[in-house]
């Protein structure tokens, strides 16, 4: 009986914990190490070759079967959906960060990894603790709409990268 209880407890713990990669994943590092040599920067690739139609990721090639194709194209099963979600977001996002911020801050992924965190559901700078949305009101010469877009992109990225 104790063996069954112990086994049941182990299964319950395993089911309740996120996958091992979740705490250590960095989708952008994965892309850079696994995909970039053929496809280049993920966002540039997504914006040039991909689009979202009816909530589905569609490509120039594999138009109707892209997501199924990606399941068998160097993605482990646990990374398939996160990478598809990342590519969907990139394909539908205007590159405001790259054009307005990249000159000083590098890539959005690197900036998110090094300089940002989430505190109580708010995107903040690691050093200052100041909300990014507030900071952008006086920084970078971005319009309110651009500031909103940059904040949303960076918030998504904080969830896609492993912080340093």
Residue 6 has what pLDDT?
43
Contact of 125 with 154, CB cutoff 8 Å:
no
Torsion of Cα atoms, 111 then 113 then 116 then 117, to 10°: 160
Residue 1 has what pLDDT?
53
Q: Report which of 155, 137, 67, 141 is spatially closest to residue 104, judged by C-alpha positions.
A: 141
Q: Report which of 89, 91, 104, 77 is spatially closest to residue 154, judged by C-alpha positions.
A: 89
Burial class (CB in 10 A: 0-12, 13-18, 19+), 37: exposed
Boundaries of every domain in the chain: 23-91, 96-160
Residue 122 has what pLDDT?
97
Contact of 95 with 47, CB cutoff 8 Å:
yes
CA angle, 96 then 43 then 154, to 5°: 50
Residue 24 has what pLDDT?
64
pLDDT digit string (tens) for the chain, length 164 residues: 555 444 443 433 333 333 444 446 899 999 999 999 999 999 999 999 999 999 999 998 888 888 888 888 888 888 989 999 999 999 999 999 999 999 999 999 999 999 999 999 999 999 999 999 999 999 999 999 999 999 999 999 999 999 77
Q: How many CA atoms lie within 13 A of 83 on its CB side?
A: 27
């Amino acid at each position: 009986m104790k063996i069954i209880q112990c086994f049941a407890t182990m299964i319950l713990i395993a089911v309740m914990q996120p996958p091992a990669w979740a705490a250590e994943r960095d989708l952008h590092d994965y892309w850079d190490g696994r995909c970039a040599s053929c496809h280049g920067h993920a966002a540039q690739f997504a914006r040039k070759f991909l689009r979202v139609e009816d909530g589905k990721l569609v490509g120039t090639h594999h138009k109707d079967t892209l997501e199924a194709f990606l399941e068998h194209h160097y993605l482990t099963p646990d990374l398939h959906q996160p990478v598809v979600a990342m590519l969907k977001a990139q394909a539908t996002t205007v590159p405001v960060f790259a054009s307005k911020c990249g000159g000083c801050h590098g890539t959005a992924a690197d900036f998110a990894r090094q300089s940002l965190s989430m505190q109580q559901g708010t995107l903040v700078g690691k050093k200052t603790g100041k909300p990014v949305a507030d900071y952008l009101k006086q920084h970078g010469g971005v319009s309110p709409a651009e500031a909103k877009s940059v904040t949303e992109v960076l918030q998504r990225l904080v969830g896609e990268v492993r912080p340093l």
